[in-house]
């Protein structure tokens, strides 16, 4: 009889502990969803009312055939640009594509056209449903898929490289140009994300300056082979600053 009572008591205790754990997990999930909706949305797109258009691509409910075609064409073209630049593609980010601004705000977006989330997912606004914007954000994911957790690159290089990968005509001259720089950097570029956002918010030429610095570095270091070598050195533990300078590079014919 005593053993039975003890067993019943233990079951009650464990039941209460499990119930408390469930409550805590639910509260933590709700907190994350409120504080970081983009993280929650990319983790569970269907929880935010999105539907899977095809594996790894989510969009709003009931898109028209024309909208479906535009989404898939944009994503496929962007993926091709990333693969063409690197030679192969290691990443396969989840894509959340919004057709309305209301949808984009709901999943945590703001004024940007698109954004890479934790280097594993990409969110695109209606203004970002374009191969240039999509490949820019997918470039961030691809670069970090190739880096180890301990490897770091400054924000200016990450952003400048994304401009080059996406071949963004807003910030780069055509490929046929002798020098693709539209705006030459005249000082070291922002290293941290906070500094980048602050500087880019004040100076519309920040992306062009970073793209100029990166495209000149690529040209001087063997383009794709130079980038692959840089990534390997970073993964081997070599500091970025000892491999790439943040000082403005002079034009090399």
Same domain, 114 and 155: no
Q: How far is CA 127 from CA 39, 98, 121, 131, in A?
A: 21, 9, 18, 11
- Based on the domain organization, do 118 and 204 belong to the same domain? no
Residues 253 and 163 in one domain: yes
pLDDT at 101: 97
Q: Where are the beta strands (DSSP E) in the chain?
A: 51-54, 57-59, 94-97, 114-117, 121-124
Domain co-membership, 157 together with 225: yes
Last residue of a domain, one of 100, 130, 160: 130
- pLDDT score for 17: 46
Write the pLDDT tens digit of every residue in 126-158: 999 999 999 999 999 999 999 999 999 999 999
Q: Is 20 a residue whose pLDDT tops 50?
A: no
Q: For residue 181, what are the β-bridge partners?
A: 172
Structural domain contains residue 65: yes
Residues in the chain: 253
- Percent of the chain at pLDDT above 70? 84
Helix (H) or strand (E) holding 33: helix 2-35
Query: Is residue 193 situated within a structural domain?
Result: yes
Q: Are residues 181 and 235 in the same domain?
A: yes
Q: Is residue 1 part of a domain?
A: no
Q: Which helix (H) or strand (E) holds 164?
A: helix 155-166
* Burial group, residue 111, by CB count within 10 angstroms (0-12, 13-18, 19+): exposed
pLDDT of amino acid 118: 86
Range of the domain at 95: 36-130
**Residue 197 included in any domain:** yes
The answer to whether residue 90 scores a pLDDT higher than 80 is: yes
């Amino acid at each position: 009889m005593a053993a039975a009572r003890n067993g019943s008591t233990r079951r009650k205790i464990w039941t209460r502990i499990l119930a408390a754990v469930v409550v805590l997990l639910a509260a933590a999930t709700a907190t994350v969803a409120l504080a970081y909706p983009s993280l929650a949305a990319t983790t569970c797109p269907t929880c935010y009312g999105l539907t899977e258009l095809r594996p790894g691509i989510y969009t709003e409910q009931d898109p028209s055939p024309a909208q479906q075609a535009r989404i898939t064409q944009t994503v496929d073209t962007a993926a091709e640009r990333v693969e063409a630049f690197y030679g192969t593609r290691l990443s396969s980010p989840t894509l959340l594509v919004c057709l309305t601004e209301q949808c984009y705000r709901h999943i945590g977006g703001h004024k940007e056209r698109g954004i890479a989330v934790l280097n594993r997912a990409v969110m695109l606004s209606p203004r970002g449903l374009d191969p240039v914007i999509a490949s820019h954000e997918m470039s961030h994911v691809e670069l970090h898929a190739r880096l180890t957790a301990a490897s770091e690159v400054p924000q200016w290089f990450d952003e400048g490289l994304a401009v080059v990968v996406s071949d963004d005509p807003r910030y780069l001259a055509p490929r046929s140009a002798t020098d693709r720089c539209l705006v030459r950097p005249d000082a070291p570029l922002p290293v941290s994300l906070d500094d980048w956002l602050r500087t880019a918010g004040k100076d519309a030429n920040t992306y062009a300056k970073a793209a100029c610095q990166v495209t000149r570095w690529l040209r001087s270091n063997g383009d794709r082979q130079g980038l692959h070598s840089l990534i390997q050195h970073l993964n081997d533990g070599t500091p970025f600053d000892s491999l790439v300078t943040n000082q403005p590079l002079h034009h090399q014919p």
